[in-house]
């Protein structure tokens, strides 16, 4: 746990508003956090109205099928595309067979050759 956020107010709507503001001000760099999830959760009607139940979160997460809680901005998507292109250009060529044979076939040939050499020595 990096930090813990607690909000207090005279009533639930004000406490939720304070929590939203505080989460919007959070700045954590270098690691993924659950801040986007909690921002999303605080906006859900079931949470705001206090009508959620003990299995609410399980049901919602299952229905989301792993979708992110914050959609990437066009700027973030552009940065990701540039990073992927740079990685593709700068990464070394793949190591393996160059004649179109599969790497499994080359391993099989190497293994067969090693066995034949071992048998010759007997």
pLDDT per residue as tens digits for the range 88-117: 888 877 666 666 666 665 566 777 777 777
Name the domain count of the chain. Answer: 1
The rounded percent of the chain whose pLDDT value lies above 70 is: 84
Query: What percentage of the chain's residues is helix, strand, coil (to nearest 5)?
Result: 55, 0, 45
Q: Structure pTM?
A: 0.57
The two structure tokens encoding residue 110: 């190497």
Angle made by CA atoms 70, 76, 78, in degrees to the nearest 5: 140
Is 83 among the domain residues? no
In a domain, 20, yes or no: yes
**Is 111 among the domain residues?**
no
Residue 58, in any domain of the structure: yes
Q: Is residue 15 part of a domain?
A: yes
| Residue 40, in any domain of the structure | yes
> Considering the domain boundaries, does residue 122 fall inside one?
no
The pair of structure tokens assigned to 40 is: 């999303």
Q: Quote the domain boundaries for residue 20.
A: 1-73
Residue 38 domain-assigned (yes or no): yes
């Amino acid at each position: 746990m990096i930090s813990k956020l607690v909000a207090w107010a005279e009533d639930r709507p004000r406490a939720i508003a304070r929590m939203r503001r505080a989460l919007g001000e959070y700045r954590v760099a270098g690691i993924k956090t659950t801040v986007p999830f909690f921002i999303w959760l605080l906006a859900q009607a079931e949470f705001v109205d206090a009508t959620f139940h003990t299995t609410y979160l399980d049901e919602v997460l299952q229905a989301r099928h792993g979708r992110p809680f914050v959609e990437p901005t066009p700027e973030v998507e552009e940065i990701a595309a540039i990073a992927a292109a740079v990685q593709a250009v700068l990464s070394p060529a793949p190591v393996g067979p160059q004649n179109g044979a599969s790497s499994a076939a080359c391993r099989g040939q190497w293994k067969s050759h090693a066995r034949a050499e071992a048998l010759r020595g007997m």
